[in-house]
Amino acid sequence: MRISRAARASAIVLGLGLIIASPITTVSAKLATDSSSPAALTRSVAPSGTVTDLLPDLRMAPLYGIGLVKAPNGHIRLRFGTIGWNVGAGPLEADGVKVDPTDRYMVVRQRVFESDGSSRTRRTAAVMVYDVGQHHNHYHVVQFMSVQLYTAGQPGGDVYGLRKIGYCLVDARKMSHPPAAVPPSPVYLSCGDLQSTSVTMGLDVGWGDDYPPMWEHQWIDVTGIPKGKYRICATVDPLGQFLESNETNNQRWTDVRIDTSTMTVTILDTSAEACGPNVPPAPPAVTSMSH
Ligand SMILES: [Zn+2]
């Protein structure tokens, strides 16, 4: 059955009673367990002769809510909120399928939408894993984002922490100035549940996922680090597992001054640019592809 994107999105929104414009409903969207698949959506057809890929393009929003928090065990955590935007011409869609019913993993194919309204899928090295815990109990794309803390400008210098964060990809937040192709309502809202044998998740054009600073894994242990200037490097899709129209704009650096004795973090500067030295090199790109 072919249904329009708009009709389908409205149905989901009505069904779940969600309004996705506010931070509060961000959480609701993540907890939604609608199991229907956005994969059967139709996109507007460009009647020109050539068919082109409408690829996603992932970018890091500025980190937000950066601060130091003392953990129950006395350790000091640098916490941060992260949003990965899709600023491309088409959705980032990850279709997970469970191969072995006895484990918690799914293999992931990326659905690439075309300018003539069709779509194809390509194999990826990404996996989804079923995560249990605060705000979760659903599937995550493993290592969808990485956040690293290190001393900037010193090749081989000290690295103080690396977080590899699994993400449930949902259209949780719309960009304030989205690209023209943005759907008016969120399309991707589900990350499956324990019974799921397949999961379709994604980020549509102009939408982003949002992981607030107090959520699990949104921190790096900075106990005992010397007072000084550090760089936080955040990278969306650090392993290059998803095909994008631009593979070189996935990083953002944020320079901060950290003083654990006064529990203060001062943001000095930030930019959506490559982070520079000390960032681990990207692994080889995944090239296997099929229709
Ligand atoms: Zn989650």
- Asked if residue 105 belongs to a domain, the reply is yes
Closest-CA residue to 86 (of 277, 238, 237)? 237
Rounded distance from Cα 206 to ligand 1 centre (Å): 21
Give, for 5, the enclosing helix (H) or strand (E): helix 5-16
Task: Inform me whether the pLDDT recorded for 251 exceeds 90.
Answer: yes
CATH number of the CATH domain containing 204:
2.60.40.2360
Question: How far is the C-alpha of 280 from the C-alpha of 291, rounded, in Å?
Answer: 32
Task: Quote the ligand 1 centre to 167 CA distance (angstroms).
Answer: 6
Q: Is residue 289 part of a domain?
A: no
Residues 6+ apart with CB under 8 A from 176: none
Ligand 1 centre to CA of 259 (Å) is 31
For residue 285, tell me if it sits in a domain.
Answer: no
User: Strand pairing partners for 138?
Assistant: 131
Q: What is the pLDDT of residue 5?
A: 45
Mean pLDDT of 182-198: 94
- What total of structural domains would you count in the chain? 1
If you measure from the C-alpha of residue 138 to the centroid of ligand 1, how many angstroms do you get, rounded to a whole number?
6
Could you read off the pLDDT of 86-121 as tens digits, one per residue? 999 999 999 999 999 888 999 999 999 999 999 999
Q: What is the distance in A from the centroid of ligand 1 to the CA of 135?
A: 6
Mean pLDDT of 252-274: 96
242 found inside a domain:
yes
| Token pair belonging to 254 | 């944020």
Ligand 1 ion local residues (Cβ < 5 A): 136, 168
CA of 202 to the centre of ligand 1 (A): 13
Say how many Å lie between the CA of residue 132 and the centre of ligand 1.
8
Burial of 114 (0-12, 13-18, 19+ CB in 10 A): middle
Cα(110) to centroid(ligand 1), Å: 19
Is residue 287 in some structural domain? Answer: no
CA distance 195 to 217: 25
Asked if the structure places residue 253 within a domain, the reply is yes
Question: Predicted confidence band at 286 (pLDDT cuts at 50, 70, 90)?
Answer: very low
Provide the residue type at 14 as one letter: L
CA proximity to 185, closest of 169, 170, 195, 163: 170
What is the whole-number distance in angstroms between the Cα of residue 48 and the centre of ligand 1?
40
- Is the separation of the CB atoms in 240 and 285 below 8 Å? yes
Mean pLDDT of all residues in 240-260: 97
Mean of all residue pLDDT scores within the chain = 82
265 CA distance to ligand 1 middle (Å): 27
Q: Which of 32-36, 59-63, 142-146, 215-219 has the lowest mean pLDDT?
A: 32-36
Residue 30 has pLDDT above 60, yes or no: no
Calpha distance 259→243 (Å, rounded): 39
Residue 280 belongs to some domain of the structure: no
Tell me the CA–centroid distance for residue 139 and ligand 1, in Å.
7
- For residue 105, the CA-to-ligand 1 centroid distance in Å is 14
Centre of ligand 1 to C-alpha 226, Å, is: 33
pLDDT for position 281: 47
Quote the ligand 1 centre to 145 CA distance (angstroms): 13
Distance CA 248, CA 264 (A): 32
User: Ligand 1 centroid vs 52 CA: distance in angstroms?
Assistant: 33
Q: How far is the CA of 165 from the centre of ligand 1 (A)?
A: 10
Which residue type, as a one-letter code, is found at position 101?
A: P
Q: Quickly state the pLDDT bin for 35 (edges 50, 70, 90).
A: very low
> Ligand 1 centre from 57 Cα, in Å?
22
Is a pLDDT exceeding 50 seen at residue 291? Answer: no
Which residues span the domain enclosing 34? 3-42+52-271
Would 107 be classed as within a structural domain? yes
